[in-house]
Amino acid sequence: MENINTEEIKSLIQKWKGKDGNLVMILHEIQNRYGYVPRPVSLEVSKETGIPLARIYEVITFYNYFELCPPAKHTISVCMGTACYLKGAPELLEEIETLLHVQEGQSTEDGQFHVNVVRCLGCCGLAPVVSIDGKIFGKVKKSEIMEILSRYTHEENNVKV
C-alpha cells in the first residue's frame, strides 16, 4: 500500500477548488500519481471537500480511465478476434486463468499479472495471439502457456506458476 501524503492531497484540492469539474481533475491527478485511486485517498478527498464518498465512487466507476486497484506488473492480453477465436484462443484463456487462479479482467493476488481479453491485435496471420506487456506471442499452443508465463515469473523469482 502506498503511503498517503495528506498534505499533498490537501494542496491538490486547494489547486482545483472552485473550478469546473474539479472532482474529476482531482481524481485524474491522483490516478496519475498512484496509478489508481486508493481508497484512503478517496476518503481523504471526501473529508477535505465535503463531497460524499458515494459520489466520489460514482465518478470513479463512471469513467473507464479510473482504476480502483493498483496496476499489475505484467498485462496479459488474449486476443479473441475472429481468427484467434477460431484457432483456439478460448482454450488459451482458460489455461491462463487456471494457472494464475484469476478470471479475465482480474489481477493475480500478488499483483504480478492482469489478464485481459482484446479484439484483434492486428496480426491475425499469427493466430492465436497472446501479448504480454505489448510483446506478441504468435501461434501459441495451450501446452506453451506455462513456459511463456514462467519467463515472467522467473524474472521475479518469487512467483510460482
What residues line the site for ligand FES (CB under 6 A)? 79, 81-84, 120-124, 127, 129
Quote the least distance from Cβ 127 to ligand FES, whole Å. 5
Residue closer to ligand FES (CB basis): 71 or 122: 122
Dist. CA 135–CA 138, nearest whole Å: 10
Residue 143: its H or E element: none
Quote the least distance from Cβ 129 to ligand FES, whole Å. 5
Residue closer to ligand FES (CB basis): 38 or 128: 128
As given in the structure block, the three cell numbers for residue 20 are 469546473
Quote the least distance from Cβ 128 to ligand FES, whole Å. 7
Residue 40: asked if its preceding bond is cis (omega within 30°), the reply is: no
Dist. CA 97–CA 103, nearest whole Å: 6
Residue closer to ligand FES (CB basis): 112 or 131: 131
As given in the structure block, the three cell numbers for residue 62 are 463512471
Angle (nearest 5°) at CA 66 between 28 and 100: 140
Q: What distances in angstroms separate CA 142 from CA 74, 88, 149, one per listed residue?
A: 19, 9, 12
Quote the least distance from Cβ 152 to ligand FES, whole Å. 21
- Residue nearest ligand FES (C-beta atom): 81
